[in-house]
């Protein structure tokens, strides 16, 4: 596989989505062939699964069903978009990937990291990110931002305890799987967060 696979991870409200757009602008400027994608979603099938998962009407969804749906969307993403792009030598940026399921479903929903990992491994075809940018922000800060924001999807509506568990889950995962993870201080200004991210990307791509 000729391309490189870079994922952005972090709790809700850590600013990944803003930064991934700016990273895209930077890549364009540099003339590097890349794609930006996201999870859940990234493909037509995946976006349909995303709307089922995040729909506020689906309050009866069991945690195992939720985990399987995320894993199904991811498997389609790997099959239809990520592997073909990597084979074409592109740099693939994904807003969230496997670590999100391990933190949100494995720890947040208390299904267990290993169990969630095993259902995901089935659909991943051995694909693992070359670089994971972890956007670190204290959960107290994101929860404050969250309560200021009205509405939100089914996951965002979860209580503070859930989001604290997700944060703790990420911390545990970084210790368990430190390979390729770089911690970005997401409390800094957008410019600083972007610069930190680009520094890590440049190291990987040896620009
Ligand atoms: P999204 O609107 O993309 O949120 P964000 O901008 O924070 O990434 O919604 C995705 C939600 O789904 C988010 O709350 C995280 C959650 N999620 C999981 O619980 N498991 C997963 O595997 C993924 C990819 C996302």
CA dihedral defined by 132, 154, 172, 175, rounded to 10 degrees?
0
We report the CATH number of the domain holding residue 70 as 3.40.50.300
Q: What is the mean pLDDT of each run of 10 residues along the chain (207 residues)?
A: 95 93 98 97 97 96 98 98 98 98 98 98 96 93 70 80 95 94 97 98 92
Beta-bridged to residue 132, according to DSSP, are 7, 181
Query: Which atom of ligand 1 is nearest to 53's Cα?
Result: 12
Q: Can you tell me the distance from the alpha carbon of 33 to that of 31, in angstroms, rounded to the nearest whole number?
A: 7
User: Which of 100, 152, 164 is the best mutation target for the ligand 1 pocket, counting ligand atoms within 8 Å of the beta carbon and taking the most?
Assistant: 100
- Those residues whose C-beta lies under 8 Å from the C-beta of residue 114, and which sit 6 or more positions away, are 106
Distances (CA, A) of 35 to 6, 44, 82, 92: 10, 16, 9, 5
Query: Which atom of ligand 1 is nearest to 14's Cα?
Result: 7
Contact 35, 86 (CB under 8 A): no
Q: How far is the CA of 191 from the centre of ligand 1 (A)?
A: 24
Query: Containing domain of residue 191, as a range?
Result: 4-205
Q: pTM (2 decimals)?
A: 0.94
Q: Can you tell me the distance from the alpha carbon of 155 to that of 20, in angstroms, rounded to the nearest whole number?
A: 21
165: Cβ below 6 Å to ligand 1? no
Number of domains in the chain: 1
Q: How far is the CA of 164 from the centre of ligand 1 (A)?
A: 15
Show the tokens assigned to 26: 């930077």
């Amino acid at each position: 596989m000729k391309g490189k696979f870079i994922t952005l991870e972090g709790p809700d409200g850590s600013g990944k989505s803003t930064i991934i757009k700016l990273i895209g602008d930077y890549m364009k400027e540099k003339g590097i062939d890349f794609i930006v994608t996201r999870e859940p979603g990234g493909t037509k099938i995946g976006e349909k699964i995303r709307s089922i998962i995040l729909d506020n009407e689906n309050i009866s969804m069991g945690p195992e069903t939720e985990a399987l749906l995320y894993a199904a969307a991811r498997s389609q993403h790997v099959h239809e978009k990520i592997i073909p792009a990597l084979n074409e030598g592109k740099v693939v940026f994904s807003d969230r990937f496997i670590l999100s399921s391990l933190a949100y479903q494995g720890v947040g929903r208390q299904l267990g990291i290993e169990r969630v990992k095993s259902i995901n491994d089935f659909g991943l075809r051995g694909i693992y990110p070359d670089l994971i940018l972890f956007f670190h922000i204290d959960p107290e800060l994101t929860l404050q931002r969250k309560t200021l924001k009205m509405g939100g999807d089914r996951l965002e509506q979860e209580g503070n305890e859930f989001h604290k568990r997700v944060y703790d889950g990420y911390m545990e995962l970084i210790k368990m799987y430190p390979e390729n993870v770089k911690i970005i201080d997401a409390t800094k200004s957008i410019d600083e967060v972007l610069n930190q991210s680009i520094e890590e990307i440049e190291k990987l791509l040896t620009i």
